[in-house]
Amino acid sequence: MKTNPFKFGSVVDGPYFTDRENELEKIASYINGENHLILISPRRFGKTSLIRKIVNESERKYVFLDMQIVLSAEDFASQLLKRVYRIYPVQKLKNYIKSFRVIPVVNINPVTGEPEISFMPNSKKLTPLEDVLNLIENLGTEKKKIIVVLDEFQDIFRIDNGLERFLRSVMQNHRHINYIFMGSSESMIREIFEKKSSPFYRFGTLMTLGKIAPEKFTPFLVKKFELISDKGKELSEGLLAMTDCHPYYTQQLAFTIWENLIRSGYSPEIIKNSAEEIVLSHDNDYERLWNNFNRTDMMVLNGMSVSDISPLSDEFSRLFGTGAASTVFSTLKRLTRKGILIKEGSVYKIDDSFFKMWIIKRRRM
């Protein structure tokens, strides 16, 4: 039996990776020089897979940290240092850590070799972070700079008040690190890096990552589907129309279609049936999500699920009873920050095609 060639829900690489040649070349060029990079993209657009592919192919040492897991400034230092221990031998790090102003507690698991690191809470809380960042700088060289990737960087506002000013004061002195800052909240990332009063104003090259163009996605899908079906082009075009070329949901639907092709063979309804299978599998998740919305959220999402009319228009308000444009605008901004909606240019869309289908289905029950 042929292995399913589609993958979603984790970092994608190798034969699962789709297109992005232009982005790969551009980003590789940035981090091979003196530049830092700021990458903005909605969740599940593949920015983590893209960056991991680039840094792995660079053959340079790198540290990757998702800021969503960081609990405090001390924890930020601990999580960074933990990842440094993964790429450098303990003996090499000992001499550097002896000079730390706050010495961490380091325990190495004798079976896995995985370090557990902690700094005493509330004891010079930013000092450990400065020491760890400077340690990474000292480990790098002019010819072999270390790459530090900080994902969901907008979370610095949650971690500690004034953290962005402190980080800039430390990072601006580093010459042996290329920083990559990633974020899914476009408004917050732009506030950090494009607002003139921000400490990180123009700290690096800003780049946005959009959806994969249909002319790029279609050949990838066709090639995979043709391994088991002569309907590759038809399947590819049909599923892209349903997912609107969203990288994650396209891979998810393609994966499910492949499984159904293996089990039952082709039928004209296979795309629709596969999508409904996904919707059903997430029914409880979507119900919990829906019940957390307020009345205006629900009305706006309901309208957007069945209509392409701008939710800010008077016609949309008349049809779906959403009220004043100012209220709707606040709702759109809030739902975009939460990742429920994505904004493409001036157009707002529901991010998850299957959640959109769930709303339509529930309203018809």
The string of DSSP codes covering 259-312 is: HHHHHH---TTHHHHHHHHHHHHTHHHHHHHHHTS-HHHHHHHHHHHH--S-TT
Q: Tell me if 14 is assigned to some domain.
A: no
Number of domains composing the chain: 3
Residues 146 and 101 in one domain: yes
Query: What does the pLDDT read at residue 91?
Result: 82
- Pair (192, 257) in one structural domain: no
Q: Domain of 348: which CATH number? A: 1.10.10.10
Those residues with Cβ within 8 angstroms of residue 94's Cβ, 6 or more apart along the chain or in another chain: none
> Would the pTM of this model clear 0.95, i.e. be above it?
no
- Please name the amino acid found at residue 243: T
Q: Give the residue among 178, 167, 181, 163 at the shortest CA–CA distance from 132.
A: 167
Name residues whose C-beta falls within 8 Å of residue 311's C-beta, 6 or more positions apart in sequence: 300, 303, 304, 322, 328, 332, 348
| Residue in the block written with tokens 């830092």 | 36
Q: Which amino acid is at 336?
A: T
6 domain residue, yes or no: no
CA torsion through residues 287, 360, 238, 309, sign: negative
Domain boundary among 155, 174, 208: 208
What pLDDT score does 274 carry?
Answer: 97
Please report the pLDDT score of residue 22 as a whole number: 80
| Residue ending a domain, choose from 173, 208, 243 | 208
Residue 11 lies inside a defined structural domain of this protein: no
The strand pairing partners of 347, in sequence order, are: 344
Q: Does residue 190 share a domain with residue 82? A: yes
Nearest-10 Cα torsion for 165, 171, 172, 173: 130
Question: What CATH number is given to the structural domain containing 166?
Answer: 3.40.50.300
Q: Are residues 131 and 190 in the same domain?
A: yes
Are residues 261 and 337 both part of a single domain? no
Residue 237 lies in a domain: yes
Same domain (yes/no): 176, 27: yes
Domain shared by 127 and 276, yes or no: no
Range of the domain at 358: 284-364
Give the ranges where the chain is alpha helix by DSSP (H): 21-31, 47-58, 73-87, 90-97, 127-139, 156-159, 163-171, 186-194, 214-225, 232-243, 247-264, 270-281, 283-291, 295-306, 314-320, 325-337, 353-364
Q: CB of 257 within 8 A of CB of 4? A: no
Residue 132 contacts residue 118 (beta carbons within 8 Å): no
Residue 9, domain member (yes or no) = no
Residue segments in the chain with a per-residue pLDDT below the cut of 70:
1, 10-19, 121-123, 365
The reply to whether 13 falls in a domain is no
Single-letter residue type at 72? S
pLDDT of residue 218: 93
Q: Are 266 and 229 in contact (CB under 8 A)?
A: yes
Residues 255 and 353 in one domain: no
Same-domain status, 62 and 78: yes
Q: Write the single-letter amino acid at 326.
A: S
Q: Are residues 48 and 102 in the same domain?
A: yes
Return all residues near 98 (Cβ < 8 A) that are at least 6 apart.
none
Is the same domain home to 333 and 301?
A: yes
Count Cα atoms within 13 angstroms, Cβ side, for 30.
23
Helix 247-264 × helix 353-364 angle, to 10°: 70
Domain membership flag for residue 7: no
User: What is the predicted pLDDT for the residue at 32?
Assistant: 84
Would you say residue 10 lies in a domain?
Answer: no
Judgement on whether residues 87 and 182 belong to the same structural domain of the protein:
yes
